[in-house]
Amino acid sequence: MLKWHWLRNAALVAAVFALFSNGAAAASLKEEIAPTGKLRVAIAVGPAGGAFWCVKSDAGYAGVPVELGKAMAAQVGVPVEFVEHPNSNTITDEAGKGIWDVAFMPKDAERETKVSFGPAYDSVETTFIIRAGLDVPNIAALDHDGTEVAAINDTTVLRGAKAFLKKATVTGFKSYEEVYALLSAGEIDALALARDQLTLMAKQIPGTKVLSETFKKTDTAVAVPQKRPQSLAFVTKFMTEAKTNGVLKKAYGANNLSESTLLTQ
């Protein structure tokens, strides 16, 4: 009987210790990933939402990062706050300034020197949309002297377009809104961007055409500022589980997005 009491008490002590340890770990994570008491999720806002881009309306923000940010904040146990940016470059540049805690952005080697990436969740083809009135059937016909191609400043797409096109002039602009306006006005010949975004854009700007060819594939992944190991471990676990528990598919469904670009492995 004495032995039984000892074992029972030992088990109780172990359970209390585990509970305390888990509570301490949760508090430590919350302090690192949400130092202001809110989970600040960096988002890029443009005219059309998607796996990376978000939109803003009177009802608030919408986009896959918005849905994922809400679910992530709920799991941490804090409110969510969305920190608006014009593009992924400004999100990257502000990673070390204490402005945001979690972001979702296109991934490349240059960005890996500035932020810590977790799992990629989307992989899209990157191509070109041609302005109305210009007869360009393929990428080869686009890549000529005097052709003006736009992309968003300091993005993976801009770097990819500059490396791929040998003769056309590739120029970076500040935001999605700016390149959208230039394309609408016919002031650029083509715009480089993810295919899903360009497909939406073509529906909005009459006469434009998205090329069937692809010049680059771009993965979008979750990211946190560097030197935040608990945050990186948490978002890695969250996104890994989101791929199988329905959270990621729900985020795509909420934004009427095809799951064809979704990475579930």
Quote the pLDDT of residue 22. Answer: 66
Q: Scanning the structure block, which residue is given the tokens 């919350």?
A: 30
- Do 115 and 134 reside in the same domain of the chain? no
Tally of domains in the chain: 2
**Whole-model pTM?**
0.77
Structure tokens at 251: 């985020």
Are 226 and 115 in contact, with CB atoms under 8 Å apart?
A: yes
- Do 129 and 195 reside in the same domain of the chain? yes
- Do 78 and 159 reside in the same domain of the chain? no
Query: Lowest mean pLDDT: which of 141-145, 153-157, 208-212?
Result: 153-157
Instruction: Give me the CATH number covering residue 29.
Output: 3.40.190.10
Q: Please write the tens of the pLDDT for every residue from 134-153.
A: 999 999 999 999 999 999 99
Compute the residue count for the chain.
Answer: 265
- Do 44 and 128 reside in the same domain of the chain? no
Domain span at 254: 2-121+220-261
Quote the pLDDT of residue 34. Answer: 98
- Structure letter (DSSP) for residue 77: T
Cα separation values, 242 from 121, 220, 232, Å: 9, 15, 15
Encode 44-67: b = buried (16+ Cβ within 10 Å), e = exposed: bbbbbbbbbbbbbeeeebbbbbbb
Is residue 1 predicted with pLDDT exceeding 50?
A: no
- Do 230 and 210 reside in the same domain of the chain? no
Is residue 19 predicted with pLDDT exceeding 80?
A: no
- Do 229 and 111 reside in the same domain of the chain? yes
Q: Give the mean pLDDT of the chain.
A: 90
- Structure letter (DSSP) for residue 61: E
CA 90 to chain centre: 13
- Do 26 and 95 reside in the same domain of the chain? yes
Q: Please write the tens of the pLDDT for every residue from 62-80.
A: 999 999 999 999 999 999 9
Beta-ladder partners of 40? 81
Q: Please write the tens of the pLDDT for every residue from 251-261.
A: 999 998 889 89
Encode 194-226: b = buried (16+ Cβ within 10 Å), e = exposed: bbbbbbbbbeebeebbbbeeebbebbbbbbbbe
Quote the pLDDT of residue 176. Answer: 87
- Do 158 and 41 reside in the same domain of the chain? no
